A and B are shown apart, each in its own frame.
Chain A
């Protein structure tokens, strides 16, 4: 009996930062991509937003897709040997949620860099709840691997002794093997683990506060979002785009948690409706159902937010820049996205500075709320 390869849960951030591929034994033995946290990935499973789909064509039927999670994007290639995957991908409208089980692949051009990608085995459209669940599950499993790798680095043990220690700490023998390999392969692992932890925490905070933006209704209004924000989840808006690979520098901004001012009275959803004559039928369900949840989050955030930096209270009479930009993006989109230049102009007319607009776009991109279908064009997810 051949044991089935486990479908590992890794975030795109970790997947694209993996560059250690190996296989044991003969040519028929499986290949593994060892990630910085020691996942020994032959197969993986992920749920994200399909943001691009291209037929690479040229006689060959080869489809390339980009699937984004809160931390980065997976590249998915389906060729002639994945006919079902190709048919599936070619029939989708971008953007949408997809769940993919696939095999890890690498591509090494001459210059020594390694690109990782996924060859799909099974695909399906997914929902926001499946995606959110995947984020939570993946965050937990990744966090556990981070802890194990740290304990491995701190232990000073090697070889069998280290394996024994890791297995005793709850790692499977496969993971223990992967961690041994990761620790000896990756340089500056500690720094990367810090980065990855930060990325995970940001993704989780986003989830803790967000009310599934992608399902938002077409007429989603400023004030709605603002109330939702000032209720509990204004923190997201203060969070710089820390996921992007380029931007992992220390952030000066206050911790996202602190943006919730404990003293600020919670506004009720009814308040919104009565003060927003333009949108009188703003899906009361979404607001009301979100109220208990966000209120609960508020409580917990208060406990967490004890690091003492300046609370960044969201301006009460004005929506956050990213919400304004998001809104404009929706209004201006005639179906093919909005040119960035036009979006900037329009945003300035609404009183935002270049800096605001720039930040807002970054935030929206990293939260997966908008994407770039073509260079210089943005579109809401």
Chain B
């Protein structure tokens, strides 16, 4: 027998033995060698032999960040970060289930255990024969009676990671879909809102949180007196969900909110409050951003800018009076500009509505109609806008989202900014010469 496959053959026979199946070693050797000859990966080959001879499904070992919807028979090793019990009614019977968050070196995921495995916060467990279900748009690990849960020594996972999670995360670093969020925020605005759910009306708290890096909206599904404007609170075990493309902090029944005596000061949040523009490479990393300020050049005005026609029924942009939902409609004129803003470090698409279009081009819808002329030459308007805007530096405020068409900022405000180039140049010269590393013309430049 090939020495390389010997240990694997032994392993297969041993595994088959646990189910009471005995198989001739020669058959396993032959079949394994044959699969390998076909370049089937070793793990896959072993798996298929176990399935064939013993009807054993080997679980696939996964990291939490790799999990996708609908996966079955997986094995994960993770630390329980948070666990809570919940009583649910299943088939008219009350049952206690366990919900929480687990974490490995690749990330955190929420889980539901349908049986009592005696799990506690901090445990490191290996769960086999678990499966993945989508829950609130994120993969969630599920395990129940047919799964095996084995508690491991807590050193089985890097301790570093759990320590990282102890530290609050800044708002700018929060990612969409995070199941367990620990952060410190100041409440900027907050208010109660009545919404209708399938279980009847419910009161939620919505508002805006701020820290030194960003503003983000939050939604609390449970009332909390701490969530009052001006308070600084530490939030643990909240979760992130996107709402209209903007990452939103969700505060649920398992979230802890504690009032901090040392508040986030006005000076800490001054940059965010004053709308100091953020460099585009720093912001295009984020999954979305709420009420951010950016600045850059208009380097391209996109087609579809200028005078447009919308369906009078549904507001969709229409061509030639035909709406793809409502057929032939009268339509009404509107204005918008779509352009690429680029600051040399990043780029995104900006959308300006009719008011903002008017603000920077001076074109009202009526004026644009004049430019378009009697035959409604829309490209004339677009060309005119391109000529006016391309190259200008603009500062914008708005919400940034990511979607299949790329990164978009829908502007809530726009202004053309001008600087005094002489003063700016002087400042920069001072900075460069002050740094001392520079000496003009120094060195032999023949090589260049």
Contacts and interface: CB of A to CB of B under 8 A. Distances in A.
A182 to B, nearest CB: 14
A287 interface: no
B425 A121 contact: no
Contact of A304 (B420, B429, B435): B429
A316 to B, nearest CB: 23
A14 to B, nearest CB: 10
Contact of A198 (B393, B422, B426, B441): B441
Interface in A159-184: 172, 174-175
B345 A172 contact: yes
Given A2-B406, A139-B425, A191-B447, A198 B300 contact: no
Contact of B439 (A138, A194, A209, A210): A194
B422 A304 contact: no
B344 A172 contact: no
- Main SS of the interface on chain A? helix
Contacts of A5: 347
Contact of A6 (B300, B344, B439, B445): B344
B176 interface: no
B392 A208 contact: no
A132 interface: yes
A124 B429 CA distance: 29
A25 B278 CA distance: 32
A132 B421 contact: yes
Contacts of B420: 293
Interface string B389-429: 01111000000001111110000000000111111111011
A48 to B, nearest CB: 11
B445 A191 contact: yes
A143 B441 CA distance: 16
Contacts of B443: 190-191, 194-195, 250
B275 to A, nearest CB: 19
Interface residues of B, number: 54
B281 A249 contact: no
B41 interface: no
A122 B342 CA distance: 13
B433 A7 contact: no
Given A147-B435, A200-B432, A8 B344 contact: yes
Interface string B237-251: 000000000000000
A45 B448 contact: no
A80 interface: no
Contact of A205 (B340, B402, B425): B425
Contacts of B433: 201, 304
B430 A304 contact: yes
B252 interface: no
Interface string A40-74: 00000101000000000000000000000000000
Contacts of B24: none
B342 A201 contact: no
Given A4-B347, A195-B443, A133 B393 contact: yes
Interface stretch (A267-275, A294-302, A358-366): A294-302
A140 B342 contact: no
A47 B424 CA distance: 17
A140 to B, nearest CB: 6
Contacts of B407: 3-4
B439 A301 contact: no
A220 interface: no
A121 B344 contact: no
Nearest to A17: B448
B320 interface: no
A276 interface: no
A301 B426 contact: yes
Nearest to B393: A133
B3 interface: no
B386 interface: yes
A101 interface: yes
B278 to A, nearest CB: 13
A377 interface: no
Interface in B265-301: 280-281, 284, 297, 299-301
B342 A129 contact: no
11 contacts: A7-B347, A99-B391, A123-B390, A124-B386, A124-B390, A137-B393, A192-B448, A194-B438, A242-B440, A250-B442, A293-B422
Q: Which 4 A-B pairs have the closest CB atoms?
A: A198-B440, A248-B445, A99-B391, A132-B421
